[in-house]
A and B are shown apart, each in its own frame.
Chain A
Amino acid sequence: MINITNLTKAFGKAQVLKGISTQVDQGEVVALIGPSGSGKSTFLRCLNLLETPTSGTITIDGVELTNPKVDAAQVRLRIGMVFQHFHLFPHMTVLDNITFAPIEVKGLSVEAARAKAHELLARVGLSDKADSYPSRLSGGQKQRVAIARSLAMEPDIMLFDEPTSALDPEMVKEVLNVIRTLADSGMTMLIVTHEMKFAREAADTIYFLDDGKLVERATPEQFFSNPQSERAARFLEQVL
């Protein structure tokens, strides 16, 4: 579904991604792990062109994103993204946060968008918060709304950029449960995470990135029990 060949990204002189090639299948759940600064987030952000790759190609279902002629907005419609810091629109209610893009971008009718939003809110367990403003929500609730907001655009692929890193520990679980349910539903997902237990349980594939390179690509069982590289072994030693 997603084909990535020799992807590089440099910020000025800093080479953040040093040639990553891989492919992600339909319905595959990928957990990206690795030390901070290894390029996990940058890699993820390249996939919906929040960062413009320096070189290399990304192809989604045959459409080459990295081709300048491709309309980035069209590509983004197929890809949802959830951020570490939620980025809900603070001046809109939860319901408006969720319905804004479907109405304004996809041209959904107001009632259809609202019906969909209520359904999604029920799915993330926040039916009673539809008319609240984001400032009234806890971090975990905000992140669940952010997930619902992304899902409202009915994407084929979901990207999660450290979705639980900004949360208090007691709220991590409620968010991970939502993501896990989503994974079980067959959504193609890439998740940058530091939650090793979650990665092990929910992911189909683990990508271990270090210093801008995809060092290991393995099933959770393989990776966590028998890492192939020395760097991965050292990393696991530190975090487990």
Chain B
Amino acid sequence: MYTSNYSLHLTIGLYLEVDKYVTVHTHKKEEIMNRNRLQRLYIPLIVFTLLLLSIISITSLAKTDLAHAAKEPTSAVKKLVMGTSPDYPPYESVDAKNNGEIVGLDIDIAKYITSQLGYELEITSMDFSGLIAALQTERVDFVMSGMSVTDERKKSVAFSDSYYTARNTIVSQKKNGFETVEQLSGKLVGTQLGSTQDQFAETIPGAKHKKLNKIADLIQELNSGRIDAAIVEDAVAIEMVLANSDLAMNFIPVVEEANGYAIAFPKQTALVADFNRMLDQMKENGELQNIIDKWFEEKQADTSGQTGFLNIDFRVLDGYVPYILKGVYVTLLFTLVSALLGLFWGTILSLFKISGIRPLQWFATAYTSVFRGTPLLVQLTLIYYAVPQLFNFDIPALLAAGLAFGLNSAAYLSETIRGGIMAVDKGQREASIALGIPYRKMMVRIIFPQALRHILPALVNEFVALLKESSLVSVIGVTELMRRADVVRASTFRSFEALLLVAAIYYVLVLVLTSLARMLERRLRRSD
């Protein structure tokens, strides 16, 4: 029975009671009692400490990430933040074998221009689809990401002159070997979503068109025969064919002056003119050609055998494994933060729901309804892009992700916890009240420990789900496991190997988590 008098004290208090143990009994007994006392403290205490620690470490991690990305950490120089999606070699990719630095043709041009203009360059990595939004919300000062000028994009952002024009190229299985656009009539053609080839493919007469998110996806669809050909640009095609010996490529002659790659800026920025001036200068003094040559010539053919089951060759991951494994830390940290936030906030919401105070109940119910009723991916994207505009706070991606997942998880957990609390025999409450135990103490020490036992399996489910769903946060560029797998897939132009590796890692993580949960459950069931 909860009456409104009590429910105001809704706190899952931080318990730090210092008990002085005096040796009254034998040492063994003493030990048991000490342990019991400790266990009474453990839940609220551990939850709070971990929550604090992880928020601190997440913020510092985000900071070090930024610091790492910044090239010249001097404070006197003005800083320009560049956004890029480093999964498009040779324009930009993560040098996974070498500290995970972002490198490429675009990067070299950006470095040259910014240093000539006297800026410090900071590179921020994000999904290609988030780049325009990042410009509009001015999270970044400019974008170089193999981005071509389109009328659509011109509506939202400003472009510099183009610095490179790529040729469209048909990639297909060797046995098909499509050479001309005419041959593609009646065929299913794949392109990368949002690329220039995307629009080009629309103009191929008689061809059906399929848009995929990543180059690695295109390769896989080609290999499995789900698409007949892929249209990509020359540099990408070269890499695709080098890494996959079953594929062949043919350049499509440039018919009209295609829209080249350009640097994108927020509208109404003075930077465009400066950058154009520098591009002209680079074209004149040959610096641009030098950079292009450097990146297009740096090719070594991968001649290792590529046959075998599903054409899988884990040797391609050689050198990338440490890079991927570092994602385990990020994934676990992220899961921990969101789980603790979810648990903490979910508990408060569940207390709101059983409080008997109408406004609190309405709030908690509406909250749950909204967060359960909208996709997590939408919430994640909204929080990441809306917070800077609303609160003028450049929220680090990892923090935004932890927040979104925590808030979302809280909605689900509040129902679970409410159910757990309701499932505790109401006699426990009556006995506590009869003994004069105050509401807060009763909830924390009597009701929650018992509720926890009831809901532990459900909690474990939720945390396992969080761990796996954490792969979603790669969309805002958090370099967790999935993001790193994508980076490696882009760098190796191979689709399966990195995916299988992260799948195995996720599976092991889940196994470890469930066995930890089983141990905890056994401890809680000790009193049975």
Say yes or no: is A105 at the interface (Cβ < 8 Å to chain B). Answer: yes
* Known contacts A73-B436, A133-B526, A150-B435, then 10 further A-B pairs from the complex at CB < 8 Å, ordered by chain A residue: A76-B433, A76-B436, A87-B427, A87-B431, A90-B450, A93-B36, A104-B437, A105-B435, A133-B527, A150-B434
Query: What's the count of A-B pairs with C-beta under 8 Å?
Result: 78
Surface stretch bound by A, among B19-27, B85-93, B297-305, B513-521: B19-27
Q: A76 with B434: in contact, given A87-B427, A91-B449, A111-B24 (CB under 8 Å)?
A: yes
Which partner residue on chain A sits nearest B1 by CB separation? A50
Q: A100 with B445: in contact, given A50-B433, A81-B434, A87-B431 (CB under 8 Å)?
A: yes
- Chain B residues closer than 8 Å to A149, beta-carbon distance: 435
Say yes or no: is B428 at the interface (Cβ < 8 Å to chain A). Answer: yes
Which partner residue on chain A sits nearest B426 by CB separation? A87
Partner of B24, one of A83, A90, A115: A115
Asked whether A110 lies within 8 Å of B450 as measured between CB atoms, the reply is no
Residue picked from B22, B33, B435, B436, most chain A C-beta under 10 Å: B435
Say yes or no: is A134 at the interface (Cβ < 8 Å to chain B). Answer: yes
CA distance A25 to B438 in the complex (A): 29
Asked whether B24 lies within 8 Å of A50 as measured between CB atoms, the reply is no
Say yes or no: is B214 at the interface (Cβ < 8 Å to chain A). Answer: no
Which partner residue on chain A sits nearest B427 by CB separation? A87
- Chain A residues closer than 8 Å to B318, beta-carbon distance: none
- Chain A residues closer than 8 Å to B435, beta-carbon distance: 76, 100-101, 105, 149-150, 153
Q: A101 with B437: in contact, given A93-B36, A96-B36, A135-B528 (CB under 8 Å)?
A: yes
Measured as residues with beta carbon below 8 angstroms from the partner, the interface class of chain A is: 35 or more
Give min CB distance, B256 to chain A, whole Å.
76
Name 19 interchain pairs, CB-CB below 8 A, sorted by A: A48-B434, A50-B433, A73-B436, A76-B436, A79-B434, A81-B434, A83-B430, A85-B427, A87-B428, A92-B36, A93-B36, A96-B36, A100-B435, A105-B435, A105-B437, A109-B20, A131-B29, A133-B527, A150-B435
Asked whether A110 lies within 8 Å of B430 as measured between CB atoms, the reply is no
Which partner residue on chain B sits nearest A93 by CB separation? B36
Partner of B32, one of A73, A89, A91, A131: A131
Asked whether A104 lies within 8 Å of B450 as measured between CB atoms, the reply is no
Say yes or no: is A144 at the interface (Cβ < 8 Å to chain B). Answer: no
Give min CB distance, A227 to chain B, whole Å.
32
CA distance A30 to B108 in the complex (A): 93
CA distance A104 to B445 in the complex (A): 10
Give min CB distance, A223 to chain B, whole Å.
29
- Chain B residues closer than 8 Å to A215, beta-carbon distance: none
Say yes or no: is B111 at the interface (Cβ < 8 Å to chain A). Answer: no
Say yes or no: is A114 at the interface (Cβ < 8 Å to chain B). Answer: yes
Residue picked from A76, A91, A100, most chain B C-beta under 10 Å: A91
Give min CB distance, B109 to chain A, whole Å.
65
Say yes or no: is A80 at the interface (Cβ < 8 Å to chain B). Answer: yes
Say yes or no: is B210 at the interface (Cβ < 8 Å to chain A). Answer: no
Query: Considering the complex of A and B, which 8 residue pairs feature the smallest CB-CB distances, nearest first?
Result: A87-B431, A87-B427, A81-B434, A133-B527, A101-B435, A76-B436, A77-B436, A91-B449
Asked whether A80 lies within 8 Å of B428 as measured between CB atoms, the reply is no
Asked whether A87 lies within 8 Å of B425 as measured between CB atoms, the reply is yes
Say yes or no: is B453 at the interface (Cβ < 8 Å to chain A). Answer: yes
- Chain A residues closer than 8 Å to B438, beta-carbon distance: 73, 105
- Chain B residues closer than 8 Å to A104, beta-carbon distance: 437, 441, 445
- Chain B residues closer than 8 Å to A100, beta-carbon distance: 435, 437, 445
Asked whether B527 lies within 8 Å of A87 as measured between CB atoms, the reply is no
Over the window 13-32 of chain A, the binary record of Cβ atoms lying under 8 Å from chain B Cβ atoms (1 yes, 0 no) is: 00000000000000000000
CA distance A81 to B433 in the complex (A): 10
CA distance A150 to B524 in the complex (A): 26
Over the window 67-103 of chain A, the binary record of Cβ atoms lying under 8 Å from chain B Cβ atoms (1 yes, 0 no) is: 0000001001101110101011111110110001100
Q: A114 with B24: in contact, given A50-B430, A87-B430 (CB under 8 Å)?
A: yes
- Chain A residues closer than 8 Å to B528, beta-carbon distance: 133, 135
CA distance A73 to B438 in the complex (A): 8
Asked whether A50 lies within 8 Å of B22 as measured between CB atoms, the reply is no
Asked whether A135 lies within 8 Å of B527 as measured between CB atoms, the reply is yes
Asked whether B19 lies within 8 Å of A110 as measured between CB atoms, the reply is yes
Asked whether A83 lies within 8 Å of B29 as measured between CB atoms, the reply is no
Which partner residue on chain B sits nearest A88 by CB separation? B431
Which partner residue on chain A sits nearest B429 by CB separation? A87
Over the window 36-50 of chain B, the binary record of Cβ atoms lying under 8 Å from chain A Cβ atoms (1 yes, 0 no) is: 100000000000000
Give min CB distance, B428 to chain A, whole Å.
6
Which partner residue on chain B sits nearest A77 by CB separation? B436
Which residues of B, 183-200, contact A by the 8 Å Cβ criterion?
none
Over the window 164-184 of chain A, the binary record of Cβ atoms lying under 8 Å from chain B Cβ atoms (1 yes, 0 no) is: 000000000000000000000
Over the window 9-29 of chain B, the binary record of Cβ atoms lying under 8 Å from chain A Cβ atoms (1 yes, 0 no) is: 000000000011110100001
CA distance A80 to B36 in the complex (A): 25
Partner of A134, one of B29, B32, B453, B527: B527
Give min CB distance, B485 to chain A, whole Å.
43
